[in-house]
């Protein structure tokens, strides 16, 4: 097993709020790993810590064995880690093509020449289906289109691992399927993924393995099918129903007899 990304015992507190409490998980190279959990469980904080936007209070972040804890986002990116954001970030006054080109500028000089060609960037735009809008300003795009541009910009750097923050959020079902399809395609080409997502259907559809966070730490790990019937996970989502998934037949909290703090009281 080749671990590409590894976080160990991350702790992060914001004022009175403990966002990460002994959070540990690893991402295997070549796989699509999902990171799920109820709102406020610390998923985005974990992303921010991994990619250098936040500094953890303690703990380790390693990319391909190299310690990047507390490194700047630029440095983490330089090690082949790409990332998209929940609230899409594009360069609004640049065209789509230019947005992608900025992505290709961020790589070390040696790689830059090859990646920076107009041709290659247009390819990437085409991959996300937006090549006919190459000269549009990114600021005039819809939310879903921006997501795609963001993805293409990250791809311009040929990252080893891409962290996607809610790729399926706020877009229509057709686009969601297209997004999933692209992720699958890229994964087949060898790109590793770590995906934060609330849309369970999406997660089940593309993830090889899933980690579940609750209140700042990982409470369960395993294959999607396994995890979704895991009682601890059901607990975490307060009542068992994982978003749009109906509870698995025959299982209710009363039957499992859980007594974890914060769980529903027995029926």
CA distance 214 to 37: 6
User: Does residue 83 interact with another protein by CB under 8 A?
Assistant: yes
User: Does residue 39 interact with another protein by CB under 8 A?
Assistant: no
Contact of 150 with 125, CB cutoff 8 Å:
no
User: Does residue 153 interact with another protein by CB under 8 A?
Assistant: yes
User: Does residue 33 interact with another protein by CB under 8 A?
Assistant: no
User: Does residue 72 interact with another protein by CB under 8 A?
Assistant: yes
Of 33, 41, 48, 69, the residue at the interface with another protein (CB under 8 A) is 48
Please enumerate in sequence order all residues whose Cβ is within 8 A of that of 251, keeping only pairs 6 or more positions apart, or say none. 229, 231, 234, 240
CA distance 85 to 44: 9
Least Å distance, CB 202 to another protein, is 22
Question: Segment near another protein (CB under 8 A), from 58-66, 88-96, 167-175, 211-219?
Answer: 88-96
CA distances from 245 to 147, 182, 184, 198 (A): 25, 24, 22, 11
Which residue, 81 or 210, has its beta carbon nearer to another protein?
81
User: Does residue 146 interact with another protein by CB under 8 A?
Assistant: no
Give the SS3 label for residue 85.
Answer: coil
Which residue, 190 or 262, has its beta carbon nearer to another protein?
190
> What mask, x for binding another protein by CB under 8 A, covers residues 94 to 133?
xx-xx--xxx-xxx----x---x-xx--xx-xxx---xxx
Strands 192-196 and 81-83: unpaired
User: Does residue 26 interact with another protein by CB under 8 A?
Assistant: no
CA distance 213 to 207: 16
User: Does residue 134 interact with another protein by CB under 8 A?
Assistant: yes
Q: Scanning the structure block, which residue is given the tokens 């998980």? A: 25
CA distance 137 to 98: 9
User: Does residue 57 interact with another protein by CB under 8 A?
Assistant: no
- Two structure tokens written together for 216: 């700042």
User: Does residue 139 interact with another protein by CB under 8 A?
Assistant: yes
Please enumerate in sequence order all residues whose Cβ is within 8 A of that of 8, keeping only pairs 6 or more positions apart, or say none. 24, 59, 60, 61, 62
User: Does residue 74 interact with another protein by CB under 8 A?
Assistant: yes
Least Å distance, CB 185 to another protein, is 7
Least Å distance, CB 250 to another protein, is 42
Q: What backbone phi and psi angles, to 5 degrees, belong to 94?
A: -105, 155
DSSP, res 138: G
Give the SS3 label for residue 210.
Answer: strand
Number of shown-chain residues binding another protein (CB under 8 A): 52
Site for another protein, rule CB under 8 A: 44, 48, 51-53, 72-74, 77-78, 83, 85, 89-95, 97-98, 101-103, 105-107, 112, 116, 118-119, 122-123, 125-127, 131-137, 139-140, 142, 145, 153-154, 157, 185, 189
């Amino acid at each position: 097993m080749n671990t590409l990304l590894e976080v160990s015992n991350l702790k992060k507190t914001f004022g009175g709020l403990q966002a990460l409490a002994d959070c540990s998980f690893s991402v295997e190279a070549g796989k699509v790993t999902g990171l799920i959990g109820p709102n406020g469980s610390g998923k985005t904080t974990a992303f921010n810590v991994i990619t250098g936007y936040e500094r953890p209070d303690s703990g380790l972040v390693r990319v391909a064995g190299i310690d990047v804890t507390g490194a700047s986002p630029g440095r983490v990116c330089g090690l082949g880690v790409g990332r998209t954001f929940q609230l899409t970030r594009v360069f609004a006054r640049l065209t789509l093509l230019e947005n992608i080109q900025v992505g290709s500028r961020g790589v070390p000089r040696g790689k830059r020449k090859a990646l920076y060609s107009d041709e290659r960037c247009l390819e990437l735009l085409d991959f996300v289906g937006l090549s006919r809008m190459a000269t549009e300003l990114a600021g005039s795009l819809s939310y879903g289109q921006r997501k795609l541009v963001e993805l293409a910009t990250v791809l311009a750097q040929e990252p080893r691992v891409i962290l996607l923050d809610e790729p399926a959020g706020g877009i229509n079902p057709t686009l969601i399927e297209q997004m999933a399809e692209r992720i699958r395609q890229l994964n087949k080409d060898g790109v590793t993924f770590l995906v934060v997502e609330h849309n369970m259907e999406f997660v089940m559809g593309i993830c090889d393995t899933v980690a579940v966070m609750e209140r700042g730490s990982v409470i369960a790990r395993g294959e999607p099918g396994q995890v979704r019937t895991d009682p601890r996970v059901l607990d975490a989502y307060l009542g068992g129903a994982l978003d749009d998934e109906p509870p698995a037949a025959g299982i209710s909290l009363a039957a499992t007899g859980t007594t974890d703090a914060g769980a529903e009281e027995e029926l």
